[in-house]
Structure 1
Amino acid sequence: MAVIINGKNIADSIKEELKEKIEKLKLQTGITPKLSVILVGDNPASCSYVKGKEKACREAGIISNTVKFSSEASEKEIIQAIEKLNTDDENHGILVQLPLPKNLNENKIINSVNPEKDVDGLHVNTMGKLLKGMKTKFYPCTPMGVVELILSTGMALEGKEVVVVGRSNIVGKPLALMLLEKNATVTICHSKTKDLKGVCSRADILVAAVGRSGMIKSDWIKKGATVIDVGINRVDGKLVGDVDFENVKEMAGYISPVPGGVGPMTIAMLLKNTFISAAGSA
């Protein structure tokens, strides 16, 4: 049976360390890190995520500022607000809560964020640096959280065969690039992949990030593999992942649960990026 990778405990440890660093930054420089979140519309999941981020900021000593817009807001209004935050020296991080209403151009809005304040790591400049293997100030939060979970097992990524199921701009693509930088052999799978089960069964490390509950079955898993579940799906009022957890844990060596796996790590990485931005402005 697999060892459960407790993302909440790992995230709590990271947040405690950050809290100490933030206190030190305040004492030495008078700077308090500040994160602004752009929230458009009233998507219940987005509102819940933003509340979680606000709570985590308070606990770490980061000022949290949520800028709310109705779902009818124009791109111009949203971008004007972002541009104001871009030039505010007391604001260190800007995050655009996704998804945005379908009438808005997601890329245009994300790329209006100053790359120096792109604490979500989704700006085209950040992605371009990842592609070229260049160091970047910020790394995308969820992929960075996934990498931290893998490394927490003590496993070295070099030479490992990693399969990432899902090719989104938020998780799959940047994660694949980050794993390549650590000399893993990476395969990205998607809806057109032939013999998905066969590809997954080769993986030393399998990352599921598709948004389909219970898609990854136990007979897709190589015995002893590490399985990281990024999926968040609501089934019968409960949060579940993309992995058939109860059965897959019998095959895997390590596995992350949903909830309590990648989710807390994503928020911890966001706080870390916000601190890095604030410390860099000192």
Structure 2
Amino acid sequence: MKARKSYLTAVLALTASLGFSQENKKQQDIQSIKSMCGCYQVQFNFTETFQYAKDSANYKPSATKHETALEWVALLENTPNKIMLQHLLIAGPDMIIKHWRQDWVYENTDLYSFYKDNSWKYSKLNKNDVKGQWTQKVYQVDDSPRYEGTASWVHVDGKNYWVNTADAPLPRREHTKRNDYNVLKRRNIHEITKTGWNHEQDNAKIIRDNKGKDVVLAEEKGLDIYTKVADSKCEAAQKWWEENKALWKNVRTKWDVVFAQNKDLNLEEKVDKKTLYSHLFKLKPDAPKTETDAIIDRFLK
């Protein structure tokens, strides 16, 4: 009996220790995610590395890209299991562009995976397979879906990073320039650094047919370097967001209703010859929710 009690005590102690260790790890994860907020000078770098086109003599690779910008990353939601970050691009003193959004959801089981041609496949993940993981849900400038992936944050040897591979639509930098591929398979690495954070990418440009067969057309390397600067340099973006955040909360709320249906999603590329972001970007900050709802409804197939 004494030996049994000793065994039970040891098991309980180990369980408590594992629970504490897991919570400790989660807090490290949260700290890493939230450290991506703030004002950043960003360097965007992309170059094609390999080409596999059959007609290689006439294939035209994308030009190597080196651009810089100032970007404000705002913390919109901060709960134990969900962290929402909104990127705002500062294109000039009076020109703020609502950029991409990234939501981080802990042990998420609802995943929308990009397929092709403005369509996403819904899947229900096994809760045991996502234990301790964070799903990064990336949204387009109009808060429609872009890509999602789940993985564990890694904290080792003084490094803090998250790695995942997910299919995505063409990036905006190529969307109006290329039509020879329709899926970008993105291997994303988010790493926290002493000066900010890096978004490293190893991407494959894929042609996917109607049967789901993939042919790799080319590969590219991407490295976006976020260097932290004084928040005061992003005051224009902070002010713009205060004036426009109610409008975009209405947009997000509508999308939440759509995603909660937990089924495959198909969107129109254009309505009245305009993209969804074109319709939404022209609205005034005080536009009613009924108006944003109606616009999004027209894009749902």
TM over 0.5: no
Q: Normalization by structure 1: what TM-score?
A: 0.24
Bigger radius of gyration among the two: 2
Q: Which has the higher helix share?
A: 1
Structure with more relative contact order (C-alpha pairs < 8 Å, separation 6 or more):
1
Q: Which has the higher strand share?
A: 2
Q: Normalization by structure 2: what TM-score?
A: 0.23
